[in-house]
Structure 1
Amino acid sequence: MRQPPSAISSSSVPTQPHRAGGRRRWFDLHSWIGLKLCLFMGFICLTGTLAVFAQEIDWLLHAEMRVTPGEQRASWGQMVDAVQRAHPDWSLQGLAAPHASRFAAKAQVRTNDGRLRFVWVDPYTGKVTGDTHWFNAHRFLRNTHRHLMLPVKYGVPLVAALSIPLLLSLVSSLFIYKRWWRGFFSWPRGDRPRRLWGDIHRLLGVWSLWFVALIAVTGGWYLVESLGGKATPPPKISLPGDGKGEKAAPADPVAIDRAVAELAKRWPELSVAGVQPTAAGQGILIDGQAQAWLVRDRANVAGFDLRDGRLLELQDGREMSVHQRIAEMADPLHFGSFGGWQVRLLWLLFGAALTALSFTGVYLYGLRVADTLRSARKRGRHEST
């Protein structure tokens, strides 16, 4: 039996005001988040974007980090020995591989008065090029982005909580922007400022959807970790001479090279990224990247007794639990450090777009308020006449 037209219009077809009302609520939420948090969000996005290339910034600032590529490479033992000879009274905590071909290898040391410094070693000649303060541009940007220089237990959850409004902004934008998938190639119209900046905002938003989702999800994971949801780390490898009461002594460079060579035989897929000799020089940890994808260097590690060259333990990142793998994936995905400079450049560009979204959003809000005030004044003049 056919329904009368009145029944069809009242029950089957949603009214236009109802649709508009729902879209308006999403718009109000999107605007409120942008207005209240734009400066905070933009600052965090800006520092995170710069942090992607923080080591390159330090490379420009510090001549000690700059080297000329050569045909031969110094061994790990030679570089450790160079640091120990240059600063025999300082305690070597670890030596990291060069960031790129024109970068020096980085040794983290602790001075006699307890200060942290970096000692730089030319990976081609095996000679120390100098030392710099531990608190550099890289550390400034990372600490500012991660916890605003506040105590970690307060700063990290405060910054990570931005993942919630960021995710809400993403979801609300999909409801506000009808048929958003058509906007990938919609060139901004420049007939008036509000339309121009609105089109730029939408264009940046559409292209950045995947990146916004990625940053929101990884930021949400940092929030979970800061509230007690951290993954249990793998058991620490026990090394000889690792006790606090052990007398400090330099590590034998020949023994280090022997351990690295032995590890290459047992685990040829591992690309060594760093070595950490114990304070007493009797043991060493060697870490790097192997078959496990999207993990930090510390996920793949081997411990050696430098006294006899014996492999004590080997930990493969592929053997981690799901919870541990999620924890390991967060940093590489958040900063794009899982790839070369091409990946990090992509992260830099989309980080800049996310920063621009924060500031253009509030600028659009200001333009909208200004248009409303102008319209109200015009109506007032017409009514008075």
Structure 2
Amino acid sequence: MRKTLFKWHSYGALIAMLPILIMSITGSILIFKVEIDSLLRPAHMLVDALPTTPRVNLDTLMQTTLGANPDYELGGWELFDDKSRSDAAYLIKRGTEDWNKVYINQYTGQLLSQAQPVDHYITDWLLELHYSFLLHVKGASIAFIAALIMLFLGISGMIIYRRFWTKLFTLRLGAVKRILYSDIHKMIGIISSPVMIILAFTGAYWNISGIIHEVTEHGDGEHVYITKPLHGLDISFEQLRQQSSKEIDSFQAGYLAMPHEPERNIDFYGQVDTTNPLNSEYSSVVSFDKMSGKLLSKQDIRQAGFLMVFIDSFRKLHFGYFGGLITRIIWCFLGLMPVFLAFTGFYLYWQRRQSKVQSKQKRQQVLNEAI
């Protein structure tokens, strides 16, 4: 059993080595995406407002954004009110599926950037590479399979090397390279496996969710391209934002999902005061009818069932920010471990292969001499 599991562990690692390495490196970088963007593009990402400065009316911000981009309709809006980070509007070019992004100072109403494709900036490009290898649904399918293999590698590695716990930090530094690399591989694998399993499981869930959405919504090849607003023109999104904060106690909207498809309504996703450190900043939602603005539903994560709370926790678990900077650093460091596991694992595989070839040659040589 252990030999069979070891063989499949090796085959799985070889098959998924490249996509796992890409996801590992990009994922570790993206843990600090906001900080990197703020460093590289402070004029887009950062605003400087006094603690008492109010946000500009959301309707005014929308009108300003669409006025500067007349060929687009709004698909979504990131809302911030920490006096330091700018809002971001997501725009869809009419008659296409092209999503763009523009930054705006929510305290002055000033546009901070031009509309650019969602993968235009380096970290956004890395995000697309991480999620779909820049191949859209096909790439997401590859990433899903790679995540499943990564999940198997984490679990099988813990089973294969379960006895290594007794000598977890023992490295035979004076041993030959093969033994030393074997010790390093085991030690890194055991230490990083719990985090790798979390990353693989949550990543696989998001990939398959996205794939299912595309297949069910656009599987027939037909797409509904937005050509005009799909909501009532007399709706005040500022009033809906304020109402959402009253519908759920302590609710603070963080993202507005616009009705960019016929079946969608107006959804405000946000956070609430909670004792659960794994509740995300988009854990609760308030929905309104897109034509009348009438309240349709509201979901408070504090009153949600186990499954919804469990799925919502994936965001913080995947990016590791449930414990602040410390857990993010740990996630970033352990997220890079597949790079070292791939190097040491491939070396050990190659050594075993060379050993088998040499053994076969020796047996053949002995057989030839006997003849």
Alignment TM-score, normalising by the size of structure 1: 0.69
* Deviation of the 1:214 alpha carbon: 1.6
CA contact (8 A) 1:259 1:306 kept: no
Match of 1:119 in 2: 102
CA contact (8 A) 1:73 1:125 kept: no
Instruction: Give a deviation string over 1:119-149, Cα, whole Å, max 9, x none.
Output: 2123554532223412233443333333333
5 Å-filtered alignment, 1:316-335, equals 316-335=300-319
1:149 corresponds, among 111, 134, 139, to 134
Structure 2: which amino acid aligns with 1:104? S
Assess, with a 3 A threshold, how the Cα gap between structure 1 residues 304 and 207 changes in structure 2: closer, same or farther. Answer: same
Distance 1:307 1:374 in 2: 75
CA contact (8 A) 2:56 2:107 kept: no
Match of 1:110 in 2: 92
1:24 aligns with 2:9: no
Distance 2:39 2:86 in 1: 13
Structure 2: which amino acid aligns with 1:145? H
Instruction: Give a deviation string over 1:177-199, Cα, whole Å, max 9, x none.
Output: 35222243324625543233222
Q: SS of 2:114's equivalent? A: strand
Question: Rg larger in 1 or in 2?
Answer: 1
Structure 2: which amino acid aligns with 1:141? L
Match of 1:12 in 2: none
Alignment TM-score, normalising by the size of structure 2: 0.72
Distance 2:229 2:210 in 1: 33
* Deviation of the 1:353 alpha carbon: 1.3
**What runs of 5+ residues in structure 2 fail to find an aligned partner?**
217-225
Distance 1:224 1:305 in 2: 28
1:54 corresponds, among 33, 42, 49, to 33
Match of 1:129 in 2: 112
* Deviation of the 1:350 alpha carbon: 1.4
CA contact (8 A) 2:20 2:147 kept: no
**What runs of 5+ residues in structure 1 fail to find an aligned partner?**
1-21, 233-241
1:289 corresponds, among 261, 271, 274, to 271
* Deviation of the 1:208 alpha carbon: 0.9
Distance 1:28 1:151 in 2: 32
Assess, with a 3 A threshold, how the Cα gap between structure 1 residues 249 and 183 changes in structure 2: closer, same or farther. Answer: farther
Match of 1:360 in 2: 344
* Deviation of the 1:108 alpha carbon: 1.4
* Deviation of the 1:211 alpha carbon: 1.1
Q: SS of 1:179's equivalent? A: helix
Structure 1: which amino acid aligns with 2:299? Q
Q: SS of 2:254's equivalent? A: strand
Distance 2:16 2:227 in 1: 48
1:165 corresponds, among 149, 174, 183, to 149
Q: SS of 1:355's equivalent? A: helix
CA contact (8 A) 1:287 1:298 kept: yes
Match of 2:254 in 1: 273
5 Å-filtered alignment, 1:1-385, equals 22-67=1-46, 69-72=48-51, 74-78=53-57, 81-85=60-64, 87-88=66-67, 89=70, 90-98=72-80, 102-111=84-93, 115-123=98-106, 125-133=108-116, 134-136=118-120, 137-152=122-137, 154-177=138-161, 179-187=163-171, 189=173, 191-219=175-203, 221-222=205-206, 225=209, 256=238, 259-275=240-256, 285-290=267-272, 293=276, 294=278, 297-303=281-287, 313-336=297-320, 338=322, 340-370=324-354
Q: SS of 1:185's equivalent? A: coil
CA contact (8 A) 1:54 1:141 kept: no
Distance 2:268 2:111 in 1: 21
Distance 1:67 1:222 in 2: 29
Q: Which moved more, 1:364-373 or 1:43-52?
A: 364-373
Assess, with a 3 A threshold, how the Cα gap between structure 1 residues 25 and 119 changes in structure 2: closer, same or farther. Answer: closer
Assess, with a 3 A threshold, how the Cα gap between structure 1 residues 375 and 101 changes in structure 2: closer, same or farther. Answer: farther
* Deviation of the 1:109 alpha carbon: 2.3
Instruction: Give a deviation string over 1:345-373, Cα, whole Å, max 9, x none.
Output: 33211111133323331123224445666
Aligned CA RMSD, in angstroms, stands at 4.4
Q: Which moved more, 1:107-116 or 1:36-45?
A: 107-116
CA contact (8 A) 1:42 1:356 kept: no
CA contact (8 A) 1:84 1:250 kept: no
Q: SS of 1:92's equivalent? A: strand
Identical amino acids, percent of aligned pairs: 24
Distance 2:290 2:346 in 1: 59
Distance 2:13 2:289 in 1: 56
